[in-house]
Amino acid sequence: MIEEALSRWMDALHALGEPSFVEAAFTQEAVVIRHDWNGERDPIEVFEGRERIGSWLARSPRGVRFTHDPPEREGSSHRVQYTVSLQDFVNQGRWIVLLGEDGRIARLEHRPDPLPKTQDLP
């Protein structure tokens, strides 16, 4: 079930928030919690519901690509290491994913690794 959910999440990411992909990936009341690149523990943004999640994804630059490692179970959630790339920019991070009863994502924490001091965002 988690592999299918991650596949739909990747589709939504790469479709830059196209509503049909967001609907396929997330429950109606889903929440995404985004942490900053600086590694701070407190979230900097919280997106509640598909429309807001889609708007966040639409902010991504065209050409951004995500890949991920196999998920690891952590209680009722899954931890997923990811890599994000765009042109010469590469960084990693992790997602903490909780699925709803229907197999779609109900809650996702987006936790990018801190940026190296010399690396700028594109």
| pLDDT of 122 over the 60 cut | no
Query: What pTM value is reported for the model?
Result: 0.89
| Distance in angstroms (rounded) separating the CA atoms of residues 70 and 4 | 12
Q: Residue type at 6?
A: L
Tell me: the pLDDT tens digits for 72-100? 999 999 999 999 999 988 999 999 999 99
Instruction: Give SS3 for 13.
Output: helix
| 2-112: in CATH 3.10.450.50 | yes
Examine the pLDDT at 17 and tell me if it is beyond 60: yes
CA 36 to chain centre: 13
In the predicted structure, residue 50 carries a pLDDT above the cut 70: yes
Q: What's the CA gap between 69 and 82, in Å, rounded? A: 6
- How far the first Cα of the chain sits from its last, in Å, is 34
Rounded mean pLDDT of the chain? 92
Determine contact, residues 66/19, Cβ cutoff 8 Å: no
Give residue 92's region: left, alpha or beta (phi > 0; psi -120 to 50): beta
Position 39 pLDDT exceeds 80: no
Structure token digits, residue 64 = 């951004």
